[in-house]
Amino acid sequence: MLDKRYMISDGLAFFEERDMKKLSKKAAKGWHLKRFRFAGYELEKGDSEEVIYNIDYRKLRATEEEEYFELFAYGGWTHVCSSTDMHIFKAAPGTTSIYSDAESSLDKLNRLAKPVNLVASVALAITIFLWIFMTFTSGTIQYIAQQGFAYSFIFTVPAVMTSCGVYYHMWKNLRLRSKY
Amino acid sequence: MKSLEQLTDSVFYIMAALTEPRHGYAVMSLIEETTKGTFVVGPASLYTIIKKLVAEQLIQLHDDSDSRRKVYVLTDKGREILLEDIERRKVMIHLAEQGLQRGNI
């Protein structure tokens, strides 16, 4: 069956808007967002539809879910899918963005920054530790440290980049806000 | 929303709507109707602001019998903050009106 397709994410921290626009273009061609997949999205074949997508990051308690999704529905936003703390909504073109003011969209970035920064700083600390170990030891221990460093480095680079992405958006957002 | 000393327009509208008990989307539609659609609060912004106002104890749950339609209302502290901000905004408007009047002579 070829009614399903995978679309890779460009990285939500840096290119959230680009991902959402890409999803919108796919929907116009009849490929609709179905669910989150590892590092991307699963699309399903259907009728062509003009829609825009928005994403929100929020940890919801079971008691908060109904109120949260109800508000979006009332604002014209249909809930499409969620993955842990990420929720994607779609609406007709021209619908007011889910975040209509700079203050609360900055809050959204702050919420996103917490787990992202935690992962990045732990990864960075491990990498630095292994590097020191690798530099000041010799023999088998050095070899193990070198291997460990190589692996943790591969993981740390994207983690730190993601962190930078979030800060880049915060900076952009702050600059935008100071215009008003 | 670090400090609530100066309310943003969105916060001001939401607090103004909650001078009487209302649920989230009654707030949304009241703002949209009153401003004839020139000011619309997005659902994520509204939800964020409501959560924040509750945390700051400026609004409170009026009646939590229905989890889908939680009804909120201003607290005494909320009324106070709103009144202060009304005064702040009055000064702005007064300044502009006076200036325009003098400019007309």
Give tens-digit pLDDT for A12-46: 877 888 999 999 999 999 999 999 998 899 999 99
A99, B24: Cβ pair inside 8 Å?
A: no
Asked if the model's pLDDT at residue A179 lies above 60, the reply is no
pLDDT at residue A53 is higher than 90: yes
The whole-angstrom distance between B105's CA and the closest CA on chain A is 31
Chain B residue with minimal CA distance to A72? B43
Contact B60, B72 (CB under 8 A): yes
Q: Hey, which residues does A57 pair with through a beta bridge?
A: A86
Q: Which of A59, A91, A123 is the last residue of a domain?
A: A91
Give the residue-averaged pLDDT of A116-126.
92
At residue A114, the pLDDT reads: 87
**Do A123 and A56 share a domain, yes or no?**
no
Q: Do both A53 and A115 map to the same domain?
A: no
Residues A50 and A116 reside in one and the same domain: no
Of A56, A91, A126, which marks where a domain is finished? A91
- Whether residues A101 and B45 touch (CB distance < 8 A) is answered with yes
Structural domains of chain B ordered from first start: 9-104 (1.10.10.10)
- Does some domain include residue A131? yes
* pLDDT given for residue B50 in this prediction: 95
Q: What is the mean pLDDT of residues A159-164?
A: 89
Whether B68 sits inside 8 A of A105 (CB atoms) is: no
Using a CB–CB cutoff of 8 Å, tell me whether A101 touches chain B. yes
By the 10 Å C-beta count (0-12 exposed, 13-18 middle, 19+ buried), A164 is classed as: middle
Residue A137 lies in a domain: yes
The pLDDT confidence band at residue A133, using thresholds 50, 70 and 90, is: confident
**Which of A35-38's residues contact partners 24+ apart within 8 Å by CB, and which partners?**
A35/A81, A35/A83, A36/A81, A36/A82, A36/A83, A36/A86, A36/A88, A37/A6
Looking at A46, A65, A91, the residue that finishes a domain is A91
Indicate whether A106 and A78 sit together in one domain: no
Instruction: Let me know whether A31 and A65 are in one domain.
Output: yes
Query: Could you give the angle at the alpha carbon of A59 between the alpha carbons of B52 and A21, nearest 5°?
Result: 100
Q: Taking residues A107-133, what's their average pLDDT? A: 90
Residue B105: its pLDDT value, please?
A: 66
Whether residues A106 and A83 fall in one domain: no
The verdict on residue A97 lying in a domain is: no
Do residue A80 and residue A39 come from a single domain?
A: yes
DSSP annotation of B35: T
Q: In this complex, is the C-beta atom of A96 within 8 Å of any C-beta atom belonging to chain B?
A: yes
Does residue A149 lie within any of the structural domains?
yes
Q: Within its chain, how far is the Cα of A52 from the centroid?
A: 17
Question: Across the interface, do A104 and B67 touch by the CB < 8 Å criterion?
Answer: no
User: Which among A58, A99, A103 has CB closest to B8?
Assistant: A103
pLDDT tens digits along B52-82:
999 999 999 987 667 678 999 999 999 999 9
Percent of chain A past pLDDT 90, that is, above it, reads 57
d(Cα A124, Cα A38) in Å, to the nearest integer?
Answer: 23
- A160 with A131, same domain? yes
Whether residue A115 is found in the same domain as residue A61: no
| Together in a domain, A17 and A54 | yes
Residues A71 and A107 occupy one common structural domain: no
Between the two ends of chain A, the Cα-to-Cα distance in Å is 52
Q: Classify residue A96: in a domain, yes or no.
A: no
In this prediction, residue A178 carries a pLDDT of 61
**With 70 as the cut, is the pLDDT of residue A63 above it?**
yes
Q: How many domains does chain A have?
A: 2
pLDDT at residue B1 in the model: 44
pLDDT more than 70, % of chain B: 90
Q: Averaged over A72-83, what is the pLDDT?
A: 94
Q: Is A35 a domain residue?
A: yes
Q: Nearest-CA neighbor of A84 among A36, A51, A32, A147? A: A36
- Of residues A114 and A23, the one with the higher pLDDT is A23
In chain A, what residues touch B40 (CB-CB under 8 Å)? Answer: 96, 100
Sign of CA dihedral A160, A162, A166, A169: positive
A79/A106 same-domain check? no
- Please identify every stretch of chain B with a pLDDT value under 70, giving residue numbers as ranges: 1-5, 64-65, 67, 105
Place of tokens 């900055």: A106
Nearest to B56 by CA among B68, B48, B64: B48
Mean pLDDT computed over every residue of chain A: 89
Which range of residues forms the domain containing residue A74? 4-91
